[in-house]
Amino acid sequence: MYINSKHLQILKVIKSNPNISISEIGKLFSLSSQYTKLHLETIYLELFKDSLLPKDSLLISKIYNALNSKNKLRQVQQFTKNQKIFYLLFKLVTNKHIKLLHISKDLNITKRNINNYFYKINNILSFFSIKLNISNKGVKITGNDFSIRRITLFVIFKFLIEKDFLPPLFRKEALSFFKIKKFSQLKKDIINLSIAIGSETSEYHYFTIFSFFYSFCDNDSLNSLNDVSLEKIFKYKPSRHTDYFFLKIVTFLKKSNFSTLPTKYLDSFFNIIDIFFYSKTQYSKTTNSLVKQIQPIFYKYLGNQVSSKKDFFTLLTPWIEYCHIKSLFFIEDSSFLNINLNDISNSNLFKMVKEIQKLVPNFTLYEAVFLWYKLYFNQHNIQTNILVYKNINSTIIPNIIDEIYKTHNIIIHHSINIRFMNHYLKTNKVDNIITIENLNIYNKNISIMNVSFPIPEYNKMV
């Protein structure tokens, strides 16, 4: 059986969501029902070594109950084509020179076919003004120091996103490459640095800073932050930043693991901050155009009130840049699998992602959740919504509230029986009253919205 990272990702979804259906798995991974079933059957055959497949209704439960399933799949996991390309690229940027014979054995590909992989690698390298030289002695890359450090940053970033599902050989070699002393301290430095920058952060932000550290910090540099006093450091300050902000960040860097950063790369570090924490204004026309096209989709699913947020472009643009990087390096981002996926296929959020993916294929639920909280959840926390009911049994109100959110995208903060509503309103601030019954409620000071009764999705009887 051919087992790759996709099979391991599907296995993780099943282990976290035992009641998930085949169609829901297909939606999450953008697979047809036929291909979803083929993936499930391949997993089953590898785990049980049984050619007699169970019925579709039992396939997921059998896989869910299989013991030691993750390790069994990992032992036979193979490289995908994209992972082979990335592995070659990783070896090139970390070793500068590789021998064809060794690589062809490691990846089980012929010297003839390996040229197809190098063609795609060469396209990526040319974007960074780096050349690929192939000879009988092997393969090497040539370019200036800055260009090689820059592509190394993105290669490490890709590894950090994909690491949980990479083949064992790749993981082993990559992890042995990261020989960092006091790793726990570096992790604390990255977290504290993100706080000092003062912007919203995510794992992507942490990965970016970590990648920058490993690519640009140099213990052997003759002119690092360690060697420059705070009085003289201002000659390296980018004009776009205030003296206060620059000094705050540099002071932190000098006291952290980042003190080995060569001063000539200080501007590059602030460029990383601009792009992935604050969003530079000098983006390409393509990126700006994409943000403008995506904006109405957010309005459609999250409401027009997000248009009042002046920082919409500032929030969204860095994530589009991350998607651009994922596209350039064909990153297989499975970060969304860390989210509890129960009922996600029924939510407005999932529908919104599917529509955005028509414009930006690499946009995932992970990006959507972060932006949803910033653009929608915080906005609606200002607006207090209560559900007023009369004839509904109170025992099912919690379920009703969940379904109102899934069906109408409205967050309910409290539920009140209409008999106690007036008393509640005297002592509590309420902005919107939501009803799902035909109730006669009159209040000039509060918006009243009657929405359809939220019927949960169900399987129709044949």
Low-confidence stretches of the chain (pLDDT < 70) are 1, 180, 199-200, 279-284, 303-310, 340-347, 376-382, 457-462
Q: In this predicted structure, what is the pLDDT of residue 283?
A: 52
Secondary structure, 3-state, the chain: CCECHHHHHHHHHHHHCCCCCHHHHHHHHCCCHHHHHHHHHHHHHHHHCCCCCCCHHHHHHHHHHCCCHHHHHHHHECCCHHHHHHHHHHHHHHHCEECHHHHHHHHCCCHHHHHHHHHHHHHHHHHCCCEEEEECCEEEEECCHHHHHHHHHHHHHHHHHHHHHCCHHHHHHHHHHCCCCCHHHHHHHHHHHHHHHCCCCCHHHHHHHHHHHHHHCCCCCCCEHHHCCCCCHHHHCCCCCCHHHHHHHHHHHHCCHHHHCEHHHHHHHHHHHHHHHHCCCCCCHHHHHHHHHHHHHHHHHHCHHHHHCCCHHHHHHHHHHHHHHHHHCCCCCCHHHHCCCCCHHHCHHHHHHHHHCCCCCCCCHHHHHHHHHHHHHHHHHHCCEEEEECCCCHHHHHHHHHHHHHHHCCCCCEEEEHHHHHHHHHHCCCCEEEECCCCCCCCCCCEEEECCCCCCCCCCCC
Percent of the chain clearing pLDDT 90 (strictly above): 24
d(CA 52, CA 292): 52
Using alpha carbons, list the distances in angstroms from residue 249 to 9, 200, 361.
Answer: 38, 16, 35
Q: In this predicted structure, what is the pLDDT of residue 462?
A: 45
The length of the chain, given as a count of residues: 462
Contact 44, 73 (CB under 8 A): no
Out of 1.10.10, 2.60.120, 1.10.287, 1.10.150, the CATH code matching 81-173 is 1.10.10
Contact 16, 341 (CB under 8 A): yes
Q: In this predicted structure, what is the pLDDT of residue 307?
A: 57
pTM for the structure as a whole: 0.75
**Domain spans, the chain:** 5-76, 81-173, 183-277, 285-376, 383-450
pLDDT per residue as tens digits for the range 205-220: 889 999 999 999 988 7
pLDDT per residue as tens digits for the range 98-142: 887 777 777 877 777 777 888 888 888 888 999 888 877 788 888
Quick one: tokens of 84? 């082979």
**Which among 176, 87, 103 is positioned nearest to 139, based on CA atoms?**
103
